[in-house]
């Protein structure tokens, strides 16, 4: 089967690898459009999120698929793309500490959460007065490395098309390809081949920081209070993110920078340098489920989108699901249907 994937963010990249792993002849088109999300995301997989410490939807199903598929793509890249890092969770308000203890005692949470007596290697960087928890089976996927590796592989194979695909030209692409799959990130909300009112996209910003007094210090966990700090390569850290439902452009803004600095200062008692400030638009959906399926107006044209705030966890499982649908005729899960009712 000859397939064109439109968009090479994390969704398009993972889907391309899954389909070509099953023998499809896959081409990818991407135009490097502004506002795309994967390039600036931390790629964190966190099993327990939110103020109430709730386990991510189907985590025990999605996480093994993610680790397996990122392992396979890593072989293509010749390097490891995913690393398991626990999250050190800072707890301050008494209610928060109690909620954490209660969750740790629940059978289906006890594999993921525990109370900690100290904050591991973060201890010398922190303000005093916190209680600590640890979330295990968390990980970080190196999105920029994965995107680069997939692009390089497809370019070397002569199957990367460095251009924007105009939706109005879909018929002419269909004369060359058996299927066209749109993985356009937040731009999917204006793709008229997939009308839905489920979209609610969210711009997000993050800072790239460095701790001048802790160069060469080894960090093997992430730190979270309201913001999360995750170690990157070369003594740098990703610190974010913010959520904006209305935004005038795709650029980093001083207001969100100040917001993040405020949250970092709540946690940290040491100086840090801001070496970059990035922004992207998440393809988020009202009910926080992906949007996957065939266009109601054009046969053989599909959408694989709506990965929202959790592309790292969701993309691999759902890429395999769509692949099985296309190649084996497996029914699509109605939970990700384009025609479900919004909430």
Provide the binding-site residues for ligand FAD, judged by CB under 6 A. 6-12, 29-33, 36-38, 40-44, 164-165, 183-187, 204-206, 240-241, 280, 282-283, 305, 307-313
Query: What's the min distance (Å) between Cβ of 155 and ligand FAD?
Result: 14
Euclidean distance between CA atoms 11 and 23, whole angstroms: 19
Closer CB to ligand FAD, 27 or 132, in the complex: 27
Which of the 8 DSSP states describes residue 117?
A: S
CA distances from 213 to 10, 124, 270, 271, 273 (A): 34, 11, 8, 8, 10
Closer CB to ligand FAD, 56 or 332, in the complex: 56
Q: Output phi, psi for 89, to 5 deg.
A: -100, 120
Query: What's the min distance (Å) between Cβ of 141 and ligand FAD?
Result: 7
Query: What's the min distance (Å) between Cβ of 254 and ligand FAD?
Result: 16
Q: Output phi, psi for 113, to 5 deg.
A: -130, 140
Q: How many Å separate Cα 50 from the centre of its chain?
A: 16
Euclidean distance between CA atoms 204 and 282, whole angstroms: 7
Helix 143-156 with 59-77: angle, nearest 10 deg: 50
Query: What's the min distance (Å) between Cβ of 229 and ligand FAD?
Result: 12
Closer CB to ligand FAD, 126 or 150, in the complex: 150
Decide: residue 166, CB within 10 A, 0-12 exposed, 13-18 middle, 19+ buried. exposed
Closer CB to ligand FAD, 86 or 280, in the complex: 280
Closer CB to ligand FAD, 133 or 241, in the complex: 241
Query: What's the min distance (Å) between Cβ of 309 and ligand FAD?
Result: 5
Pair of tokens at residue 85: 């890092």
Interstrand relation of 179-182 and 160-161 (parallel, antiparallel or unpaired): unpaired
Q: Which residue has its beta carbon closest to ligand FAD?
A: 9
Query: What's the min distance (Å) between Cβ of 289 and ligand FAD?
Result: 13
DSSP assignment of 139-157 equals EEE-HHHHHHHHHHHHHHT
Query: What's the min distance (Å) between Cβ of 117 and ligand FAD?
Result: 27
Closer CB to ligand FAD, 202 or 326, in the complex: 202
Closer CB to ligand FAD, 84 or 269, in the complex: 84
Helix (H, G, I), strand (E, B) or coil at 315: helix
């Amino acid at each position: 089967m000859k397939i064109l994937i439109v968009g090479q963010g994390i969704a398009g990249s993972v889907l391309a690898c899954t389909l070509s792993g099953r023998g499809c002849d896959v081409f990818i088109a991407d135009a490097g459009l502004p506002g795309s999300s994967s390039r600036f995301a931390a790629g964190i997989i966190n099993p327990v999120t939110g103020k109430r410490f709730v386990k991510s939807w189907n985590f025990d199903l999605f996480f093994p698929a993610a680790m397996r598929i990122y392992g396979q793509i890593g072989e293509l890249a010749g390097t490891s793309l995913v690393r398991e890092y626990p999250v050190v969770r800072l707890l301050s308000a008494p209610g928060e500490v109690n909620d954490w203890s209660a969750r740790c005692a629940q059978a289906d949470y006890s594999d993921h959460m525990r109370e900690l007596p100290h904050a591991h290697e973060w201890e010398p960087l922190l303000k005093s007065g916190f209680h600590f928890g640890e979330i295990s089976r968390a990980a970080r996927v190196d999105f920029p490395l994965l995107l680069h590796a997939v692009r390089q592989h497809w370019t070397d194979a002569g199957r990367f098309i460095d251009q924007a695909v105009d939706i109005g030209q879909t018929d002419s692409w269909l004369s060359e390809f058996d299927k066209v799959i749109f993985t356009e990130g937040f731009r999917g909300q204006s793709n008229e081949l997939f009308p839905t009112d489920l979209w609610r996209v969210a711009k997000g910003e993050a800072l790239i920081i460095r701790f001048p007094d802790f160069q060469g210090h080894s960090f093997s966990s992430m730190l979270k209070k309201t913001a999360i700090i995750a170690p990157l390569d070369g003594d740098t850290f990703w610190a974010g993110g913010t959520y904006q439902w209305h935004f005038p452009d795709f650029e980093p803004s001083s207001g969100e920078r100040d917001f993040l600095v405020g949250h970092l200062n709540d946690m940290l008692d040491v100086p840090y340098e801001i070496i970059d400030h990035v922004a992207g638009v998440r393809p988020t959906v009202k009910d926080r489920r992906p949007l996957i399926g065939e266009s109601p107006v054009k046969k053989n044209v599909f959408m694989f989108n709506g990965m929202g705030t959790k592309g790292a966890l969701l993309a691999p499982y759902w890429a395999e699901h769509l692949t099985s649908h296309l190649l084996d005729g497996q029914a699509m899960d109605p939970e990700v249907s384009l025609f479900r009712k919004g909430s």
